[in-house]
Structure 1
Amino acid sequence: MSLLLILPGLVLAQVGKIAGKVVDRETKEPLIGANVIIEGTTLGASTDLNGNYVILNVPPGIYTVKASYVGYQTITVRNVRVTVGLTTEVNFELPSEAIQVPTVEVVAERPLIQKNATNEIRVVRSEDVQNMPLRGYTSVVAIQTGVVQVGGTIYVRGGRSEEVAYYVDGVYFNNPYNYARTGEVVTTAIEEVSYQAGGFNAEYGYAMSGVVVTTTKTGGTKYSATLELITDEYGGFFRSKETGNPNFHKKNVLTGAYSQGYSLYSISLGGPLIPGYDKIRFFGALERTFMRNRRPSFYDGVQATVVEGQDTFNINIPAGLLRGNSTSRWLFNGNVVFDFKPFNLRIGGTSFFRTDRVYIHSYSAYNYDRMPREEETTHGYYAKLTHTISASTFYTLMFSWYRTFIESGDNIWWDDIESYGDKNKNPQLRDWGRNQPFRPFSLFAQANTVYPNYSKNLSSYVGVKFDILHQIGRVHEIKAGFDLRYNTIRVYGLRALDIANNRRNNPTGSNENIYQTAFVNTLGYDVTGKTEVNTGRNGAKHPIVGAAYIQDKIELPELILNLGLRVDYINPNTDQLVDPTKIILESKGDWYDMADANFKASKPYYIFAPRLGISFPVTDRTVFHAQYGVFSQAPQLNLFYTSTILFAQY
């Protein structure tokens, strides 16, 4: 079937730059050939005929910048903040050595606004995160202007959740199938979180509401380590007299507060890979989290006796945390940097493992141990080579690999689909494939009610990305690049409770017949979900997406212009329907499928998107932004790729 999809956008640059002017303190004349260096790095530049300098390819962080010139005293500016994709301005006025003044050290103030950005950008650095009572970059984004968080899902400017693009170290971390956010970052590994709300320049694509770019730390020239232990399960607990259940109604003896069953253990380590040799550095962070209640809150509980007909029901839901709402997570972030100027190679990535119990209120009274389970395994890894050709030009070549697998189902039977509705294995069932009715008054599932559905999704991609940046003088920053991504999509889902009854009623039926009547939706798997399928109309889908862009960022003293053009390439790489209003079905024996006559080959298409952004600083507290551009986003992929066996059943 013909499919559209949102391109994940480009693998974004993870560096900023420092620029400014060096002049004589007394005469204000430019100093030609003055040296400006970033302490603790090999980065620096010399001023031109107008006293201007630009230092490119600066990783985000806080630096000390020093300016020196023959016959003049050296000035040092500390606390200089560099942000991904932006220019940090640092100007120097050097006093002559003939004028005796004390050693000059300046502490740069944090700007109240980002006048260099042509759209709204909020930047939160690691030291800010450390002072926040928050965990993870999504919680940092959630407190920004225009952002609403509901149950862990981020919404920006009233848009849909899938309209926000998430990048970690340049790797796109939205699931290509439905554009849901996946993975997470160890809090102590965060170097910077940059959030943009609309009006993106040509480098960014296929995000209608917002873009979140997270950069992780790299190892320094000296060893550093952190250890973090957090728990609310300390000081001893006693069993609640009201419920007699120690697992769900714990109260801390020291504080008198109810425990949420929260425990977090985090460790990080970074520095030279070889002691005393700082050209090869590493950083790694590992975090383990467990919460009995993944949405911390206090529940008053319910104790009631309800009569329905001839039956009496005692409802006893204890106060405290919600039952069957736990989460268990492991998270790793790491990288190794090989810094051999003019080449810099960074290899790293993220792994995330999650097991959640998904709270359903109707299960809370009698069936809390059968709350459905959801598991996620997400990996995103990259190798990025940066080559500094000259003081004004560098390019970046990046290869990335991403894979996410999300699975959900009944907590006991899980992927044993044939057992969900088997009355021999589930004697509490009313009949084969039928749970007991919800009671009293259709409010609560009875004990051992089987969660009826099972699903899984495996999405992955391999990508390549190239960017080149050239600085012309102090004013023009020319940037161009392209990327290409080859995706693999597999999805499977059905009403698993029906399978055993279908098999019992039709013991000689084919698997296609048994599973089709349970509304199986399968792409990339056979109908049982056990075997991967790579060919045919219901085989794995491989959409190919790409983009190219060019932009000129014009940085004038009182005006910033960002002019660009972006071209997106979308190839669904599958067939599309000839006429959706005339579907032809064909018999396959005891099941039906869509006939080949329904389909024709789809074609790739292109989107041309001009972009213009303007930033006009009015004061140090006020900036005027204006943008024009073509911003497009197709619906998420799961609305287009549909199994033909499911389509035929409808």
Structure 2
Amino acid sequence: MRRGIGVLLAVLSLVFVVWAGTTGKITGTVTDKQTGEPIMAADVELINPATGEVITGTATDLDGNYIFLDVAPGVYDLRASALGYAPMTVKNVVVHADKTTTVNFQLVSEAIKAEAIEVVAEREQVRMDAVSSEDYVSSEEIKSMPVQSVNEVLETRAGVVSRGGELHFRGGRAREVAYYVNGMPVNDPTYGYQALTVSPNSVQEIQMQTGAFNAEYGGALSAVVSIVTKEGDPNKFSGSIGYSTTNFRIKALNKFTTNADRIDFSLSGPEPISTYFLPVLGLKLPRDKRISYFFSISGENTDTRLPYNKKFDLDYPEGGAPLATQDEIVGPYKIKYGWYGFFPERRVNQYQATLKLKQRLTPSFKYVISFDGNWSKWRSFDWYYYYCPKFAYKSKQSVYQTTLNITHNLSVNTFYELRLGYFHNERTLTPGDWDPGDFAVDSSAVRTLDDWVDVNNDGIPQIRVPWVDFNGNGMWDYGEYWEPLIDRIDTIWNDPSLRDSIVEIDTIYADTLPPQLGEEPWMDWNSNGVFEPRWTNFNTPYPTWFSMNIGEIYMDGEPFLDGYPYGMSYQALLDGSAGIEFVMETLWVDVNGDGEKQFGEYV
């Protein structure tokens, strides 16, 4: 019984480690065109069409058959030659990941005078061995497409639609799609959505299956999407850089801009340390054993069509949408963007990176180390935070995967792959720059927190002594109430128990200078001489018992909604049609139990 369980576990382990393929295979037969007989020991070479260099070669067996295993997706040339025959070249042979491409050769005997033959391979109109619905997109196709993400590439395929930033295949849900990058699964293990994304700039091929999936694919109901990233050429350097923007830095030109900047950079070729520096020390790798690399990075920061800190044109026709203007809102609750990566931070910020190293130690043994990652930081737009955007919650996501892939060809027809991978997915959701505990709003009948008028709208109090700006002109006028600020008065009584007469009054400090130009109105309600502002009561024209109800350009109270009676409309509470007075403000919770309202106890 134990032996049976052990065998079962071994079989299950083998099943679990079989992931999506990242390489393809080329097979075919070389025959005599006149007789149809197979040609034994014919040479077949796999050629890089860009450089003309021979990548690898093989020979036909007794039946004239040949095979190339472990071929990276791409376009190649094949050349067959044999003693006594004119060579023949087939160009533009397309190899797909996890698929077999068949190319047959019919060589002409040199007894019949003939030149070298070149044939351009054509894609089969109908694949006789196809058992599933498949679609492929190559790097060459992506170059000619106006896209900035792999999702945008997939949206161009039949049966794929995008809703809310998620892709749906054949009407299925987003979580019913299995995504693979370099043969390893990259779905979120908790929620099932696609977690890791790569830049189109680093994609060699995208394979999409939408039915009758192969046995190695699990956890997919709607589709399987397999992405293979590019590899570097060990004998040639190549690179690219691109930059695009909708931010023209001129207000007139930026009227309807999304304020977006994007950069794409890639570099590939022979790895420089082993290629150039080690030979100086006398350690020189043979040309066919060079380490190649491919590196790419992409970044995009954008405000989208719904930016924070901007005013919107709300006068739009029915069925339309509000448009953001270039005028900024006024107040202390704007977002102060910094830098995210090498771009100024915007509402949505995304970066992607790919690094791939490959070395073929022998003609039958190679290894590939790859790293793919994406990092995002964004604030979801909500109209609740229109006038106080710095309180909009922030999201961050960090996803990356490192894999080691070892391929060993045991014979012409047999090989095995070993894959090891580490996948990391982390997402955090936090409040905005302040949380509810940072707000201090007085909810008591007897004032304990202070009123303050920010005259110059800089969000910084310019206060010295308490005073009231009755006429609202932003400066102290003769006759307006003010109080001298007295720090401490020591009183000595003749009889302290009776307090019948004062012997001495010692004024330690008294500021008797009236409010000066530039000083802002401040009402010290609890007369403790300490400035404790009601932060959300911004720009109140003058202090009053119901100053929270005075019309302002900002919503009164904190931007976190408090509860209200069940069954009542929120709008009815705001416009007064509910029949009760509704004041948006925080509630006091006596956290430390001392019975006193203190900063940090307003939640």
TM-score clears 0.5: yes
Q: Cα gap change, 1:150/1:406 in structure 2, threshold over 3 Å: closer, same or farther?
A: same
Match of 1:446 in 2: 555
Q: Cα gap change, 1:185/1:506 in structure 2, threshold over 3 Å: closer, same or farther?
A: same
**Residue among 225, 229, 235 paired with 2:243:** 229
Residues 539-558 of structure 1: pairs in structure 2 closer than 5 A: none
One-letter identity of the residue aligned with 1:124: V
Q: Cα gap change, 1:372/1:506 in structure 2, threshold over 3 Å: closer, same or farther?
A: closer
- Tell me the distance in 1 between the aligned counterparts of 2:275 and 2:104: 36
Higher mean Cα deviation, 47-56 or 378-387? 47-56
Which runs of 5 or more residues in structure 2 are unaligned? 1-14, 48-52, 277-286, 330-334, 336-345, 443-531, 539-546, 563-585, 595-602
- Tell me the distance in 2 between the aligned counterparts of 1:417 and 1:350: 38
- Tell me the distance in 2 between the aligned counterparts of 1:337 and 1:268: 16
Q: Cα gap change, 1:267/1:285 in structure 2, threshold over 3 Å: closer, same or farther?
A: same
| Structure 1 position 354 matched with structure 2 position 376 | yes
**C-alpha displacement at 1:19, in angstroms?**
1.4
Q: Cα gap change, 1:353/1:14 in structure 2, threshold over 3 Å: closer, same or farther?
A: same
Higher mean Cα deviation, 152-161 or 50-59? 50-59
Contact 1:294 1:326 in 2 (8 A): no
How many residues of Structure 1 are paired with residues of Structure 2 in the alignment? 419
Residues 260-275 of structure 1: pairs in structure 2 closer than 5 A: 260-273=258-271, 274-275=274-275
- Tell me the distance in 1 between the aligned counterparts of 2:550 and 2:63: 82
Higher mean Cα deviation, 48-57 or 165-174? 48-57
**C-alpha displacement at 1:295, in angstroms?**
8.3
Q: Cα gap change, 1:294/1:226 in structure 2, threshold over 3 Å: closer, same or farther?
A: farther
One-letter identity of the residue aligned with 1:11: W
- Tell me the distance in 2 between the aligned counterparts of 1:9 and 1:179: 19
Residues 514-593 of structure 1: pairs in structure 2 closer than 5 A: none
**Residue among 532, 535, 540 paired with 1:427:** 535
- Tell me the distance in 1 between the aligned counterparts of 2:137 and 2:306: 24
- Tell me the distance in 1 between the aligned counterparts of 2:182 and 2:421: 10
Match of 1:384 in 2: 405
One-letter identity of the residue aligned with 2:26: I
One-letter identity of the residue aligned with 1:16: G
Query: What do the CA deviations read for 1:367-424 (whole angstroms, capped 9, x no partner)?
Result: 44543321111111111111111111111111100111111233213xx685489988
**C-alpha displacement at 1:156, in angstroms?**
1.1
Q: Cα gap change, 1:304/1:25 in structure 2, threshold over 3 Å: closer, same or farther?
A: closer
SS class of match (2:195)? coil
**Residue among 8, 14, 20 paired with 1:12:** 20
Contact 1:218 1:281 in 2 (8 A): yes
- Tell me the distance in 1 between the aligned counterparts of 2:561 and 2:170: 36
Contact 1:439 1:445 in 2 (8 A): no
**C-alpha displacement at 1:112, in angstroms?**
4.2
Contact 1:381 1:401 in 2 (8 A): yes
- Tell me the distance in 1 between the aligned counterparts of 2:366 and 2:432: 47
- Tell me the distance in 1 between the aligned counterparts of 2:420 and 2:352: 22
**C-alpha displacement at 1:350, in angstroms?**
1.0
Scaled by the length of structure 1, what TM-score is found?
A: 0.58
Residues 397-476 of structure 1: pairs in structure 2 closer than 5 A: 397-413=418-434, 419=438, 427-428=535-536, 446=555, 449-450=558-559
Which runs of 5 or more residues in structure 1 are unaligned? 1-6, 240-248, 252-257, 306-314, 431-435, 454-499, 510-517, 519-650
One-letter identity of the residue aligned with 2:301: F
**C-alpha displacement at 1:337, in angstroms?**
0.7
- Tell me the distance in 1 between the aligned counterparts of 2:122 and 2:311: 48
Match of 1:101 in 2: 114
Match of 1:318 in 2: 324
Residues 599-618 of structure 1: pairs in structure 2 closer than 5 A: none
One-letter identity of the residue aligned with 1:388: N
* Higher fraction of strand: 1
Q: Cα gap change, 1:439/1:508 in structure 2, threshold over 3 Å: closer, same or farther?
A: closer
Q: Cα gap change, 1:451/1:50 in structure 2, threshold over 3 Å: closer, same or farther?
A: farther
Scaled by the length of structure 2, what TM-score is found?
A: 0.62
- Tell me the distance in 2 between the aligned counterparts of 1:9 and 1:339: 23
Match of 1:292 in 2: 303
Match of 1:250 in 2: 254
Query: What do the CA deviations read for 1:185-220 (whole angstroms, capped 9, x no partner)?
Result: 122211001111121111111111111111111110
- Tell me the distance in 2 between the aligned counterparts of 1:24 and 1:438: 96
Contact 2:439 2:558 in 1 (8 A): no
One-letter identity of the residue aligned with 1:318: A
Query: What do the CA deviations read for 1:97-145 (whole angstroms, capped 9, x no partner)?
Result: 1222232122212344554432111100000000000122222112211
Query: What do the CA deviations read for 1:314-373 (whole angstroms, capped 9, x no partner)?
Result: x99635899998311221101111211222111111121111121224544x34454332
**Residue among 83, 91, 112 paired with 2:104:** 91
**C-alpha displacement at 1:171, in angstroms?**
2.5
| Structure 1 position 28 matched with structure 2 position 36 | yes
Contact 1:9 1:205 in 2 (8 A): no
- Tell me the distance in 2 between the aligned counterparts of 1:438 and 1:219: 66
Contact 2:149 2:199 in 1 (8 A): yes
Contact 1:293 1:321 in 2 (8 A): no
Contact 1:8 1:176 in 2 (8 A): no
Contact 1:23 1:93 in 2 (8 A): yes
C-alpha RMSD of the superposition: 3.9
Contact 2:440 2:536 in 1 (8 A): no
- Tell me the distance in 1 between the aligned counterparts of 2:33 and 2:192: 54
Contact 1:173 1:183 in 2 (8 A): yes
SS class of match (2:141)? helix
**How high is the sequence identity, in percent, across the aligned residues?**
28
SS class of match (1:318)? strand
Q: Cα gap change, 1:100/1:86 in structure 2, threshold over 3 Å: closer, same or farther?
A: same
Q: Cα gap change, 1:70/1:356 in structure 2, threshold over 3 Å: closer, same or farther?
A: same
Match of 1:330 in 2: 351
One-letter identity of the residue aligned with 1:275: T
